[in-house]
Amino acid sequence: MIDPINPVTTRATILVVDDTPANIEVMHAMLAPDYEVLFATNGHEALELAAKTRPDLILLDIIMPEMNGHEVCQRLKSDVVTKDIPIVFVTAMAATDSEEKGLRLGAIDYIVKPFSPAVVKARIANHLELKRYRDLLADLVWIDGLTGARNRRYFDECLPREFRRAMRAHLPLSLMMIDVDYFKQYNDQYGHLAGDDCLKAIVNTLTQLLRRPADVVFRYGGEEFVCLLPDTDANGAAMMAEQVLNRCRKLAVEHKLSPYGIVTLSIGLTTLMPQPEQHVSDLVEIADQALYRAKEEGRNRLYV
Which one of residues 41, 55, 61, 190 is an interface residue with Mg ion (CB under 5 A)? Answer: 61
Min separation Cβ 266 and ligand GH3, Å: 7
The one of Mg ion, ligand GH3, none whose footprint includes residue 146, by CB under 5 to 8 A per kind, is ligand GH3
C-alpha 45/C-alpha 116 separation (Å) is 27
Q: Say how many C-beta atoms besides its own lie within 10 A of residue 164's C-beta.
A: 12
Comparing CB distances to ligand GH3, the nearer of 2 and 248 is 248
Kindly tell me which of 179 and 215 has the beta carbon lying closer to ligand GH3. 179
DSSP string covering 31-84, please?
A: HTTTSEEEEESSHHHHHHHHHHH--SEEEE-S--SSS-HHHHHHHHHTSTTTTT
Amino acid sitting at position 248: C
x/- site string to Mg ion, residues 179 to 208, per CB under 5 A?
xx--x-------------------------
Stretch near Mg ion under the rule CB under 5 A, chosen from 18-26, 43-51, 195-203, 244-252: 18-26
Q: Among 274, 242, 293, 58, which residue's Cα sits nearest to residue 160? A: 274
Contact 22, 51 (CB under 8 A): no
DSSP calls for 194-259: HHHHHHHHHHHHHHHH--STT-EEEEEETTEEEEEEET--HHHHHHHHHHHHHHHHHH--B-TTST
Rounded to 5 degrees, what are φ and ψ at 96? -60, -40
Residues in touch with ligand GH3 (CB under 6 A):
146, 179-184, 187, 192, 195-196, 199, 222-223, 295, 299
Which DSSP letter does residue 303 get? E
Nearest distance from C-beta of residue 183 to ligand GH3, angstroms: 3
Task: Tell me: does residue 63 bind Mg ion (CB under 5 A).
Answer: yes
Q: Which is nearer to ligand GH3, 35 or 190 (CB)?
A: 190
**97, 22 in Cβ contact below 8 A?**
no
Q: Does 215 bind Mg ion (CB under 5 A)?
A: no
Shortest spacing between CB 2 and ligand GH3, in angstroms? 25
Number of CB atoms found within 10 A of residue 218's CB: 26
Give the nearer residue to ligand GH3 in terms of CB position, either 57 or 265: 265
Instruction: Find the part of the chain contacting Mg ion (CB under 5 A) among 9-17, 24-32, 94-102, 173-181.
Output: 173-181
45 given a catalytic annotation? no
Query: Binding of Mg ion at residue 288 (CB under 5 A)?
Result: no
Binding partner of 61, given ligand GH3, Mg ion, none, CB within 5-8 angstroms per partner class? Mg ion
Residue 19 contacts Mg ion per CB under 5 A: yes
| Catalytic residue (choose from 66, 129, 157, 223) | 223
> Taking a C-beta distance cutoff of 8 angstroms, is the pair 262, 295 a contact?
no
Single-letter residue type at 174: S
- Output the smallest distance, CB 284 to ligand GH3, in A: 17
Q: Where does this chain bind Mg ion (CB under 5 A)?
A: 19, 61, 63-64, 179-180, 183, 224
Catalytic residues: 223
